[in-house]
Amino acid sequence: MAATEDREAPAPRARGGALAALTQAALALPILAIAARAGAAQVGEVGIAVLGYKERGLIKVTEPVIWANAQIAEVWEVQASAAIDIITGASPQLVTNLSGKPVQAVTGASINDRRNTGDLHVTRHFGDFALSGSYTESNEEDYHSRAYGVEGRWDLDHKLTTIAAGYGRSNDRVGSSIDQTLNAPRHTDEYMLGVTRILTPLSLVQSTVAIARGRGWYNDPYKLTLTFYPDQILPILLADRRPDHRDTLSWLTRYRRHFPGANATLQADYRYYRDDWGIRAHTLEVAWQQDLGDRWSVRPALRYYTQSAADFYSPTIPRPQPEIVSSDQRLAAFGGLSPSLRLTYRFAGGTVIEGTAGYVHDARSLRFGGGGSEAYTTLRAVFGLVSVSRPF
Amino acid sequence: MSLHRFAFRAMAAVNEVQVHAADRGAAAAMAAPAIAEVRRIEEKYSRYRPESVVSRINAQAGGAPVAIDEETAGLLDFADACWRQSAGLFDATSGVLRRAWRFEPGSAVPSREALEALLPRIGWQRVERTREAVRLPLAGMELDFGGFGKEYAVDRAALALREAGAESALVNLAGDLAILGPQPDGTPWNVGIRHPRVENVAIATLPVASGAIATSGDYERYLEVDGVRHCHVLDPRTGRSARGFRSVTVHAQTCIVAGSASTIAMLMGRDAGLEWLDGLAVAHFCVLEDGAIIDRFPATVS
């Protein structure tokens, strides 16, 4: 049996961390569930993050994301964030069967876009009830979005159960750098209902159902299909044509379980998605957050995704030509695996630095049960995220 | 709804559970499991009970490891966090100093030799422990849960009340207490802080809506010789009493955190202790050695 590692009494920790350290140690004990909030002596947080994403020929950098939240007079919470995305590189736009088999072609046209986005979230607490309002704005050359939402949360049963219900509305305008005349609206109404239940002092489950009803322009002005027919000299080039509505349902269930003996938390999420375009998707993500001492945490995660194709997905234009058809491979049947690793370091003063690196591999062969779309081009991408946050 | 109070003896003190309930029967049904939980913890961890885990560990000092369960391992982890956060001042093996100290009128202050003879038996860093077992490496070493054992019982009793359906209740174990929710009319509970020099008089009344309060003081067990008060909060480095505070009261979300924070502040002494409490950003109320009051409690704490 080993004695406590440090033979000498350690130098006193920086003071801000002491409460967190004692609270952390108390959290491992089977005492009050309210201890889960005990570390929050802080009243606010500021943070900055840089995200990078790279797939063959396409680089997307989000720089920077800045966020801040603050609690005011104990009953108000304000949260705001801003981000700028810069996307550069070539975009696959055309699906053609020129070679005999439909494949996705990179047209050589390059994208250079910049997206500015910001949001504001305000919450007012009334005892066991909290009401939030939010506003999000996103602008880029060919896309503008304004969304607002309201959400209510009730703590029941001594905060062992929390019920949340919300409504959101998003008003978007879709344009195109190719077709300057395009300026089409899209409206989405979203309804959300969720329940969080603390099962034991060490585990909780959360389940949220969201239904969205969208109307308006869904065609992607950058997606084209070029189909050659053996009995026809001239090929047909067709723009993306999708329904003018989309109703979706997504159901997300998350489970968290802390293992005090191992200083670790299991995080398991399952998401079911369906829409009236015929897409059914399942996402399963399992992560293990392991604390290594007071300062370091490591979180390996693996996500699996699988979806069926939209009813109108086709890599070639069928004959007779249907009203709606799209060769966009995001509407195809495929599956994907995405491993990632996150490292966290906590400074004594409360500042947290986090770095995440991940890999995305989407392929038709990864579809659950097989049956992935033949024309799906395997996608491999890497992403990285670095963030710094500090409480105040 | 009305307030029902249940006094009970445990841990060598008179303690109390208060519950707001429709009638006394309903209140008793909620208070009973909380009181039972306090008694369970006393039996399990009291060093006065030979069959307790702590007594068995102490009896095996210098001998074989003693098997412990998950709850005990968690409490020892907590003791370890206290030791680290206090730079070694909070030491769960310092109870051995009680062999030299007699906190009774007429007793003498132990000699330097008597204390120095005990210091080699103190040293949390030498305690050998895993999740499953613990061993004190030297015969004569002692473990005790002072500073967090009773406080843990407060938190466990509060949890028992909550699980029994209490929405507005208070557990008070000899001045260390936890509060479950504000009173039914929405007002906070008024917690009286004992005057460190005048028994049965409150020096302050603090409004508390939730969380826990713990007090360390020089008035519980002490020895006064030539006008100098020697209290039972002992510095593991010298074996002598902590100086600088008459009492330190801390509010935190759990009593175990409040209790360890108040004890560590006592051990640090006035200036370092006050600075440390400030850094913790917890509400606190202190009576200094000279009687001056440092009141850093907001209008209501929750």
pLDDT one-digit tens code per residue, A297-312: 999 999 999 999 999 9
With CA atoms as reference, the chain B residue closest to A200 would be B163
Beta carbons of A22 and B155 less than 8 Å apart:
no
* Domain extent at residue B61: 53-135
pLDDT of residue A40: 37
Q: Is the CB of A18 inside 8 Å of chain B's CB atoms?
A: yes
pLDDT score of A67 more than 90: no
Q: Is the CB of B86 inside 8 Å of chain A's CB atoms?
A: yes
Could you tell me the pTM of the whole model? 0.55
pLDDT score of A161 more than 50: yes
pLDDT of residue A284: 97
Residue A169 — very low, low, confident or very high, per pLDDT cuts 50/70/90? very high
Report, as an integer, the average pLDDT of A187-192.
96
pLDDT of residue A38: 33
A320 upstream amide cis, omega within 30 of 0 = yes
3-32 of B, contacting A, C-beta below 8 A: none
Name the fold adopted by A46-391: Porin (2.40.160)
- Out of B81, B88, B125, name the one closest to residue A25 (CB): B81
Q: Is the CB of B124 inside 8 Å of chain A's CB atoms?
A: yes
pLDDT score of A56 more than 80: no
* pLDDT tens digits along A81-104: 888 877 776 565 788 888 888 888
* Residue extents of the structural domains in chain A: 46-391
Q: Does residue B199 sit within a domain?
A: no
* pLDDT tens digits along A139-157: 888 889 999 999 999 988 7
Closest by CA to B248, choosing from B282, B285, B211, B212, is: B285
Which chain A residues are within 8 Å of B126, Cβ to Cβ? 3-4
CA separation for the pair A243, A323 (Å, rounded): 9
Q: Does residue B65 sit within a domain?
A: yes
Report, as an integer, the average pLDDT of A219-236.
87
What crossing angle do the helices spanning A15-27 and B70-85 adopt, rounded to 10°?
A: 170
pLDDT of residue A39: 35
Residue A9 — very low, low, confident or very high, per pLDDT cuts 50/70/90? very low
Beta carbons of A19 and B280 less than 8 Å apart:
yes
Q: What parts of chain B have a pLDDT lower than 70?
A: 300, 302
pLDDT of residue A10: 46
Domain tally for chain B?
1
pLDDT score of A361 more than 90: yes
pLDDT of residue A102: 86
A384 Cβ contact list (under 8 Å, min separation 6): A51, A52, A355, A356, A357, A358
pLDDT of residue B272: 93
pLDDT of residue B34: 95
Domain with residue B71: its CATH number is 1.10.3980.10
Q: Is the CB of A233 inside 8 Å of chain B's CB atoms?
A: no
Minimum distance, in Å, between the CA of residue B226 and any CA atom of chain A: 34
Which chain A residues are within 8 Å of B87, Cβ to Cβ? 9-12
| Least confident among A1-5, A142-146, A270-274, B256-260 | A1-5
Q: Does residue B35 sit within a domain?
A: no
CA separation for the pair A17, A216 (Å, rounded): 51
| Cα A306–Cα A312–Cα A315 angle in degrees, nearest 5 | 80
Report, as an integer, the average pLDDT of A96-114.
74
Beta carbons of A1 and B135 less than 8 Å apart:
yes
Residue A72 — very low, low, confident or very high, per pLDDT cuts 50/70/90? confident
pLDDT of residue A115: 81
Beta carbons of A3 and B167 less than 8 Å apart:
no
| ipTM of this predicted structure | 0.79
Residue A110 — very low, low, confident or very high, per pLDDT cuts 50/70/90? low
pLDDT score of A15 more than 50: no
pLDDT of residue A201: 63
CA separation for the pair B1, A249 (Å, rounded): 45
Q: Is the CB of B131 inside 8 Å of chain A's CB atoms?
A: yes
Which chain A residues are within 8 Å of B78, Cβ to Cβ? 22, 25-26, 28-29
